[in-house]
Structure 1
């Protein structure tokens, strides 16, 4: 199962890089969109592979739980990950100046809370998948999945506290 997660992650980034090459180097905007639209299909393939693996009688493992996290994160952060890769591609390969500016104070706090909101969305999506797996496989053999969910729940709370700290204690200078 771990190999499929790695393959999905690699395929995700290859699709993005190929999309960026088609967009900026080959100037084929519409074809670049095709590769960006492949990313959710890669996620769907990972869901199907995870389901098939569990259907075959494999004991649920941490890798199965990570697959659910991967899918939730990819769906919640997918657009921003592509935007990040787009900006980095332009800076690194096209030698364009970075348009990213340092956020401070309230603006930084609002940004961090928005990113935490995406984390909450990823958590909800991934949790639904995790709990579907738990009930599908049967509660007696899914301790690894429950542990993944429990650790992610703690990480979500910590991330929320850190994000809130940017509002409560804003940084005033760079």
Structure 2
């Protein structure tokens, strides 16, 4: 297995381990400060991944698809991380602290959330593109970073899919199921 892929997998696992441990500390053990500290450790996972990618390339490594995937992962983690943690927090609060049940969105509320996701995707794609550019500039060897160029179209396709999704729900808002009314 490629070293960078292994580090990406470890980063994803680490992100969710910190989230789950933070929420368990907060809601099950009632250790609110420790829970907050564990939740704030999630960006550290991103820094470790970015550092590993930079060190790998600066030590003579040749960029692969997985280096580009790391940039994409970092963009998603930064742009969507708060939303993912908020999603998990709502479910833990409901399950362990008698909080309200998570709300399913329909109609214009769902459409608004789709457009917020377009903004998040724009930010994530921008961050990923910036990291790809940074890696290319740091290595300064087109032969060793050519694989990174293949990620740019992926960012564009991802953005277009998210944009089409939001546009579709703008013209045809998500309907609430009859049983939920």
Whether these two folds match at TM > 0.5 is yes
Which among 50, 62, 66 is matched to residue 65 of structure 2? 62
Indicate the residue corresponding to 1:168 in structure 2. 171
Which among 17, 37, 62 is matched to residue 34 of structure 1? 37
Normalised to the residue count of structure 2, the TM-score between the two structures is: 0.88
| 1:96, distance to aligned residue in structure 2 (A) | 4.6
| 1:143, distance to aligned residue in structure 2 (A) | 2.5
Whether contact under 8 Å (1:5, 1:67) holds in the other structure is yes
Indicate yes or no: 2:152 matched with 1:135: no
Q: 1:63 to 1:121 in 2, by over 3 A?
A: same
CA–CA separation in structure 2 for the residues paired with 1:24 and 1:101: 19
* Dislocated runs of 4+, deviation >6 Å: none
**Structure 2 gap ranges (5+):** none
CA–CA separation in structure 1 for the residues paired with 2:174 and 2:79: 27
| 1:169, distance to aligned residue in structure 2 (A) | 1.9
Say which SS state the counterpart of residue 102 (structure 1) adopts.
coil
CA–CA separation in structure 2 for the residues paired with 1:88 and 1:76: 21
Whether contact under 8 Å (1:71, 1:126) holds in the other structure is yes
Name which of structure 1's ranges 129-138 and 5-14 shifts more when overlaid on structure 2. 129-138
- Please report the RMSD computed on the Cα atoms of aligned residues, expressed in angstroms: 1.7
CA–CA separation in structure 2 for the residues paired with 1:127 and 1:102: 32
Which among 89, 101, 114 is matched to residue 86 of structure 1? 89
Indicate yes or no: 2:147 matched with 1:149: no
| 1:105, distance to aligned residue in structure 2 (A) | 2.2
